[in-house]
């Protein structure tokens, strides 16, 4: 049996509510500078929640032509920009690569909701007689969820494995984990993995309001709204953005003298088979997912220095994720540092896992753990070390990153300092 190929992360690209360059993104996390504000893209007066983490002043024109911008949804634009930034960060020269050995898996939880609503509004305005003739011929390729991957591939000439993941809030982790497997089994030497989301629209935002999933208690102080593991949490804060990482087979990366952020060593995936939106009350899916990722990476629970939690700031997720961590890590659960960076950047839905893998890579490289901000009142059922409010310097060698999505989708990644 041949030795399994090792996989490292060599490039990071982000578009986010707290910065769309790595320096600003990382500084915002460490300073606890929240990206949550009163909703600006439409008037939220009649919605129960009035806050969100929006990407402000987004300009895709340095990365896409005017024609491409016109023919792509916002979530696709986010994805292409993040992917191009990741490739620049990795210093990849495609003229020196075999394009058939470079692939893409970038998913989205929801896809082109902006396009759906815009086209439908125009159809209704024109009526059933004139409306059909004004439907854009690009509506389908603009809204379908796989078009983020497709457009990235086209933009950069990447002809390797090419697919899409749509597992709600676990999307980014699944995309990166599946990319890991592709490289490990030898089907590619380099993959772009991550997620993109741009669903802050009337229906997207309103749907989560109707579900009573969003925070409503902090409309007058948005920066305080996302408070994972805090006793007074009352729901998540909807965000948007994209995050893409470059995964690379180790020898391939070393041959081109690439900078290595960390090594990706473990991936676990499971299903709750319990409820459309609520996690299993015993944390069964999360337990099996984390345990599988640790086993895959050959890591003991006591080896883990930091957990980047899913940590959505909802009543059930935070309590049940805490329970799952206790079951997997045993006595080490009280010793391991845990934080939810959603407290600063909001919940980027399908892009969350990608953004949190960037956090993971930077935490390992910089030796600083970002805090969980707004942690003010301890919850007796959430009684672990959540790195409250201020960053912490630490020697971080092994990190676990969790992602848990609607439908009972769970995905855990394990990264290690490269040596």
Residue 275 lies in a domain: yes
How many Cα atoms within 13 Å fall on the side-chain side of residue 68? 21
Pairwise CA distance, residues 372 & 14, whole Å: 20
Determine the Cα–Cα distance for residues 248 and 415; give it in Å rounded to an integer.
14
Q: Is residue 19 part of a domain?
A: yes
How far from chain centre, in Å, is Cα 190?
A: 20
Residue 349 maps to which CATH number? 3.40.47.10
DSSP letters along 350-404, please? GGHHHHHHHHHHHHHHHTEEPPBTT--SBBTTB-S---BSS-EE----EEEEEEE
| Rounded CA separation 388/221 (Å) | 19
Mean pLDDT of 5-12: 98
With a cut of 50, say whether residue 377 has pLDDT above it. yes
Contact 289, 295 (CB under 8 A): no
Asked whether residue 121 is assigned to any structural domain, the reply reads no
Residue 230 lies in a domain: yes
Q: Can you tell me the distance from the alpha carbon of 20 to that of 84, in angstroms, rounded to the nearest whole number?
A: 12
Rounded Cα gap, residues 252 and 9, in angstroms = 12
For the chain, the domain total comes to: 1
Q: Minimal CA–CA distance to 331: which of 295, 363, 365, 304?
A: 304
**How confident is the model at residue 2, as a pLDDT?**
56
Q: Which one is predicted more confidently, 1 or 383? A: 383
Is-catalytic flag, 347? yes
The sign one gets for the Cα dihedral 292, 297, 302, 306 is negative
Domain range for 271 is 7-110+145-416
Q: Is residue 129 part of a domain?
A: no
Question: Which member of 174, 347, 382, 409 is catalytic?
Answer: 347
pLDDT single digits (tens) 163-173: 999 999 999 99
Question: For residue 392, what are its two tokens?
Answer: 């912490």
Res 3 pLDDT > 80? no
Give the span between the Cα atoms of 181 and 396, in whole angstroms: 24
Phi, psi of 101 (to 5 degrees): -105, 10
310, 403 contact by CB (below 8 A) = yes
Nearest to 103 by CA among 169, 63, 143, 150: 150
Answer yes or no: is pLDDT of 1 > 60: no
Instruction: Give the C-alpha separation, 396 to 398, whole Å.
Output: 6
Which pair of tokens denotes residue 400? 């676990």
**pLDDT confidence bin for 131, thresholds 50/70/90:** confident
Among 114, 174, 252, 310, the one annotated catalytic: 310
| pTM, entire model | 0.97
Distance CA 177, CA 194 (A): 9
Q: What is the mean pLDDT of residues 309-321?
A: 97
pLDDT of residue 183: 98
Does 139 reside within a domain? no
| Marked catalytic residue, from 169, 209, 226, 289 | 169
Position 311 in a domain: yes
User: Six-digit token pair at 311?
Assistant: 């940590």
173-231: pLDDT as tens digits:
999 999 999 999 999 999 999 999 999 999 999 999 999 999 999 999 999 999 999 99
Name the residue among 14, 30, 9, 63 with its Cα closest to residue 348.
Answer: 14
CA distance 193 to 186: 16
d(CA 343, CA 306): 16
Q: What percentage of the chain exceeds 90 in pLDDT? A: 96
Grade residue 129 by pLDDT with cuts at 50, 70 and 90: confident
Q: Are 293 and 412 in contact (CB under 8 A)?
A: yes
- Establish if 313 belongs to a structural domain: yes
Indicate the helix (H) or strand (E) that contains 324.
Answer: helix 315-329
416 φ, ψ to 5°? -135, 150
Q: In what order do the strands lie in the sheet with 241-249?
A: 162-163, 102-107, 190-197, 241-249, 7-15, 262-271, 409-416, 398-405, 306-308, 337-339
Strand bridging mode 337-339 / 102-107: unpaired
pLDDT digits (tens, 9 = 90+) for 250-294: 999 999 999 999 999 999 999 999 999 999 999 999 999 999 999
Nearest to 12 by CA among 32, 30, 26: 26
């Amino acid at each position: 049996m041949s030795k399994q190929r090792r996989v490292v992360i060599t490039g990071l690209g982000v578009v986010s509510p707290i910065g769309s360059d790595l320096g600003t993104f990382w500084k915002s996390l460490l300073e606890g500078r929240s990206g949550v504000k009163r909703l600006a893209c439409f008037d939220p007066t009649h919605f129960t929640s009035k806050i969100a983490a929006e990407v402000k002043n987004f300009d895709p024109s340095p990365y896409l032509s005017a024609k491409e911008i016109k023919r792509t949804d916002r979530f696709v634009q986010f994805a292409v920009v993040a992917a191009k930034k990741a490739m620049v960060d990795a210093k990849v020269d495609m003229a020196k690569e075999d394009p058939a050995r470079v692939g893409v898996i970038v998913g989205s939880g929801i896809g082109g909701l902006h396009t759906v609503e815009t086209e439908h509004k125009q159809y209704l305005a024109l009526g059933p007689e004139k409306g059909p003739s004004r439907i854009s011929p690009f509506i389908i390729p603009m809204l379908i969820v796989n078009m983020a991957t497709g457009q990235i591939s086209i933009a950069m000439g990447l002809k390797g494995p090419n697919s899409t993941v749509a597992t709600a809030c676990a999307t980014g982790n699944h995309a990166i984990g599946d990319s890991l497997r592709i490289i490990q089994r030898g089907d590619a030497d380099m993959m772009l993995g991550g997620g993109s989301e741009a669903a802050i629209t009337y229906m997207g935002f309103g749907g989560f309001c109707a579900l009573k999933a969003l925070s409503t208690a902090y409309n007058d102080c948005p920066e305080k709204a996302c408070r994972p593991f805090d006793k007074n949490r009352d729901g998540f804060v909807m965000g948007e953005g994209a995050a893409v990482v470059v995964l690379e087979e180790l020898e391939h990366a070393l041959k081109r003298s690439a900078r290595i952020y960390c090594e990706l060593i473990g991936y676990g995936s499971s299903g709750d088979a319990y409820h459309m939106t609520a996690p299993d009350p015993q944390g069964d899916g999360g337990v099996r997912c984390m345990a599988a990722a640790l086993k895959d990476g050959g890591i003991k629970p006591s080896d883990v220095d930091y957990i980047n939690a899913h940590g959505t700031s909802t009543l059930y997720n935070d309590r049940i994720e805490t329970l799952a961590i206790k079951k997997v890590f045993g006595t080490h659960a009280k010793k391991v540092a845990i934080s939810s960076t959603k407290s600063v950047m909001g919940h980027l839905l399908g892009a969350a896992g990608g953004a949190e893998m960037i956090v993971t890579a930077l935490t390992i490289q910089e030796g600083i753990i970002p805090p969980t901000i707004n942690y003010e009142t301890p919850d007796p059922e959430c009684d672990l070390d959540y790195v409250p409010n201020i960053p912490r310097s630490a020697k971080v060698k092994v990190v676990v990153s969790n992602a848990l999505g609607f439908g009972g989708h769970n995905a855990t990644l394990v990264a290690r300092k490269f040596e």
